[in-house]
Amino acid sequence: MKKLKTNLLYILFTLALLGIQGCLSTEIPPRGAVRGKVFDSSGKAVSGARVYAPGASTVSNVYGEWSLEGLEPITQTITAEKEGFESRSKQIEIRSGQTGEGADFVLVQKGIIYAIQSSEKTSTTVEITFSSRDPIKGGIRYGINAGYASATPEVTAYTTVHRFKISGLTPATTYHFSCFGVDEKGRNFLSDDNTFTTAGTSRGEAPAGVMVTKETSSDLVAILWTGDNGLDLAGYNVYRAYSPLGPFYPVESGLVQGNRYVDSSVTPGEQVYYRITRVSGTGEESPPSQTVSFMLPGISRKNLIWTPEMNPIILTGDLTIRQESSLSILAGTSILVAASDSWDVLPTSDKKVELKISGSIIIEGSSDQPVKFTSQSSAPKGGDWIGITFDALSNLQISRINDLQLSFARDGIKGLAGLPAIRDSKVAQCSSSGVYSQDARLPVDIQGVTADNCTVGFHIASNTAQNVKVASCTAIKCFYGIVSRNNKFSEILENTVQFWTISGIDVENGDPLSYVRKNVVAPGSNGVAIITRGRDEIRRNTVQAATGIEIRGNAARAVLRSNLILADTKYGGIGVLYNGENTYSPASHTIQNNNIWNLSDTDSRYRDTSGNKLTGISNDLRLDPELVGGNPFVEFPTSYFNYRPTSGSPLKGQGYAGEDVGANNVP
């Protein structure tokens, strides 16, 4: 047992001795050193500056030189300081057994250059600001190392607040910079070395919230979009085109700053299209935003063409086609008109949009692709906009309207000095007139046009110097179907007027050659089918109403021939009614070969407002013809009811001078 203890103690002693020898044999890495110089902001050597690190300290000599030795080989914080100067510190890597060179310090007099900041950094730009105690001409030296290969342009003014925008930098790169300046005494100042790092870059997202508006009281278009608060934004490209499919071109040669651009290059009446891209600091461009369109209201400055590719064209304010200018609208084009003019700020304004023609307009629709004008309102109504107005200066010789569909205006097509030729068109839901003409400078010629649900379908009045013609047109569900009064000469020929409220046709023209012929004014209502106030000949018309034909006013010199009058007894039917202050005189009126159907009461066939029978009636017919549509008195007919007589009708050849009675020839 004693021998075992002795052996154990020997082993432990041996292990301890080996451990001590191992510790004594561990190598300690050699220490390092660093040296450099100390300068002031003007570049002069600074002596007596204390330079120190943890565990070591020295003072710069007369040449500003210093060195620290015996430093542990790690990254050390070296500080230089001297009274009257701002102290500076650097992180310097100490290498084992080596002496680092060039660890220089620039000490700035306290308060000369201070508050140095770098901000608004993008991938290619930075803004550097600093202040100086006294006014200096300042600047920035910068580069990828402390050699400062670049500098800002020289400034010419002395100031204490300094701001510099540096561009053309490389993304994701650390830059060194130093602030410098010279005062009014010629003394130079230089800050210590500073650093900033530019942002990385990537392709941005397309701008959002793009909208277009008009600057008040000007022909300027403003484009706005949602601002981008992200980093690495160099600016935006604003692109413009005159077709939704392009080509799109930038509106400026450089980038647009901010989130708003005002375009002064747009002509009123010209549809323009915009889209925006975001550009990063390195020039990378985002996908384009959604395309938005705008038509500038105002007075046109050039000839315009509207095409289906522009659909829908939106009129938000009054547009005038000025003299010597033209507007051409091609088949299939659709125009939406705002129900309120938001740009007209005059207190007397009606706030309604109008297309006013002082030059010329050519509307070239087709039967399968008409040109369309209508209200943009979600709940449209008559009078939402003014309509198309031809003023006294308009070029009616060049203008024409073919296959137009227009709705919800006040006066659909209005001529203040006449109208161009209008063909195969439709105006609907107009609060005043579907088609209106006065004081015409050229003959008025309207053919194949439908007016639906207007107060007056066709209002052709006071064209005292020109002939007017309304032919093969339709007026349906209007208070007044066709009004032709006080014109030089009037032709109302082969029209259809249905479901009027007050009167189907109302004429008052002085030329005895004016006429109302072969019109179907049926089915009607409790109003009057035809009112004659002047010398117009009312001949070969088919009418159905409470009152077939009314001779109104003492100036009337009625000529009624070969008319088929369906006097509807449901409304207290009257065939021909004289309504004048003076007693009826047969010498003043010619009433011949008219057939009044469905009136057994002879007192109601021809009478005045007092119930007296009219005299001087020539060849009063009492024929009950058959119509293709059947008996119009049994059931109130629809708009598709056919008033054409059947073959062999007794109306054949029974009219004036052997003609057929009514609007349709008897087969």
**Domain range 32-107, its CATH number among 1.10.10.10, 2.60.40.1120, 3.30.380.10, 2.60.40.1930:** 2.60.40.1120
Residue 662: its pLDDT value, please? 97
CA dist 272 and 546 (Å) reads 55
CA dist 320 and 309 (Å) reads 22
Read off the amino acid at residue 383: G
CA dist 651 and 640 (Å) reads 22
Three-class SS state of 7: helix
Poorest-pLDDT segment among 44-48, 402-406, 522-526, 654-658: 522-526
Spacing of C-alpha 428 from chain mean position: 25
Residue 655: its pLDDT value, please? 97
pLDDT single digits (tens) 356-392: 999 999 999 999 999 999 999 999 999 999 999 999 9
Spacing of C-alpha 364 from chain mean position: 24
50's tokens: 């204390």
pLDDT band for position 434 (cuts 50, 70, 90): very high
Residue 381: its pLDDT value, please? 97
Beta bridge mates, 114: 131
pLDDT single digits (tens) 246-261: 999 999 999 999 999 9
Three-class SS state of 415: strand
Contacts of 640 (CB under 8 A, 6+ apart): none
Poorest-pLDDT segment among 19-28, 270-279, 481-490, 614-623: 19-28
CA dist 419 and 444 (Å) reads 6
Residue 23: its pLDDT value, please? 41
Backbone dihedral region for residue 158 (phi beyond 0: left; psi -120 to 50: alpha; all else: beta) = beta
CA dist 593 and 591 (Å) reads 7
CATH number of 113-197: 2.60.40.10
Decide which of 639 and 34 is more confident. Answer: 34
- pLDDT at residue 453 tops 90: yes
32's tokens: 């390092």
pLDDT single digits (tens) 560-619: 999 999 987 777 789 999 999 999 999 999 999 999 988 777 778 999 999 999 999 999
Decide which of 127 and 204 is more confident. Answer: 127
Is there a shared CATH topology between the 32-107 domain and the 211-295 domain?
yes
Strands 32-40 and 105-107: parallel
CA dist 409 and 372 (Å) reads 12
Residue 6: its pLDDT value, please? 45
Helix, strand, coil share of the chain (percent; to 5) = 5, 45, 50
Decide which of 113 and 330 is more confident. Answer: 330
Within 10 Å of residue 286's Cβ, how many Cβ atoms? 18
Residue 634: its pLDDT value, please? 79
On whether the CB atoms of residues 433 and 456 are closer than 8 A, the answer is yes
On whether the CB atoms of residues 136 and 189 are closer than 8 A, the answer is yes
* Distance between first and last Cα of the chain: 154
Within 10 Å of residue 441's Cβ, how many Cβ atoms? 15
What is the mean predicted confidence (pLDDT) over 151-164? 94
- pLDDT at residue 396 tops 60: yes
- pLDDT at residue 22 tops 50: no
- pLDDT at residue 63 tops 50: yes
Q: Is 264 exposed, middle or buried (0-12, 13-18, 19+ CB in 10 A)?
A: exposed
On whether the CB atoms of residues 595 and 565 are closer than 8 A, the answer is yes
Residue 1: its pLDDT value, please? 44
263's tokens: 């375009």
**Superfamily of structural domain 211-295:** Immunoglobulins (2.60.40.10)
CA dist 650 and 653 (Å) reads 8
Q: Give the mean pLDDT of the chain.
A: 91
Strands 174-183 and 126-143: antiparallel
For residue 6, the number of C-alpha atoms closer than 13 Å in the C-beta half-sphere is: 3
On whether the CB atoms of residues 595 and 662 are closer than 8 A, the answer is yes
Poorest-pLDDT segment among 151-165, 446-460, 598-612: 598-612
Percent of the chain clearing pLDDT 90 (strictly above): 76
pLDDT single digits (tens) 332-348: 999 999 999 988 877 77
Render 619-648 in DSSP notation, one character per residue: S-B-----BTT--TTTS---TT---PBPTT
CA dist 391 and 389 (Å) reads 6
Residue 19: its pLDDT value, please? 47
Decide which of 661 and 15 is more confident. Answer: 661
Render 54-107 in DSSP notation, one character per residue: TTEEEE--TTSEEEEEEE-SSEEEEEEE-TTB--EEEEEEPPTT-EE----EEE
On whether the CB atoms of residues 153 and 164 are closer than 8 A, the answer is no
Residue 133: its pLDDT value, please? 86
Poorest-pLDDT segment among 122-136, 304-318, 319-333, 354-368: 122-136
Q: Is 3 exposed, middle or buried (0-12, 13-18, 19+ CB in 10 A)?
A: exposed
Domain range summary for the chain, segments of one domain joined by +: 32-107, 113-197, 211-295
On whether the CB atoms of residues 71 and 32 are closer than 8 A, the answer is yes
- Helix and strand tally (H, E) in the chain? 1, 59
Whether the CA torsion 97, 99, 100, 106 is positive or negative: it is positive
| Residue reference for tokens 């991938």 | 123
What is the mean predicted confidence (pLDDT) over 503-523? 96
The reported pTM is 0.72
Percent of the chain clearing pLDDT 70 (strictly above): 96
**Which is nearest to 632 in space by CA: 163, 624, 280, 587?**
624
pLDDT band for position 267 (cuts 50, 70, 90): very high
- pLDDT at residue 203 tops 80: no
Read off the amino acid at residue 551: I
**Which is nearest to 522 in space by CA: 628, 435, 426, 641?**
641
Decide which of 525 and 323 is more confident. Answer: 323
Three-class SS state of 379: coil
Strands 126-143 and 319-321: unpaired
Residue 111: its pLDDT value, please? 62
Three-class SS state of 286: coil
Residue 426: its pLDDT value, please? 98
Residue 8: its pLDDT value, please? 46
Backbone dihedral region for residue 131 (phi beyond 0: left; psi -120 to 50: alpha; all else: beta) = beta
Longest Cα pair distance anywhere in the chain, in angstroms?
Answer: 173
Integer angstrom CA distances of residue 435 from 254, 373, 486, 633: 51, 14, 16, 32
Rg (CA), the chain: 48
Beta bridge mates, 596: 565
What is the mean predicted confidence (pLDDT) over 20-49? 78
Residue 24: its pLDDT value, please? 44
Decide which of 87 and 346 is more confident. Answer: 87
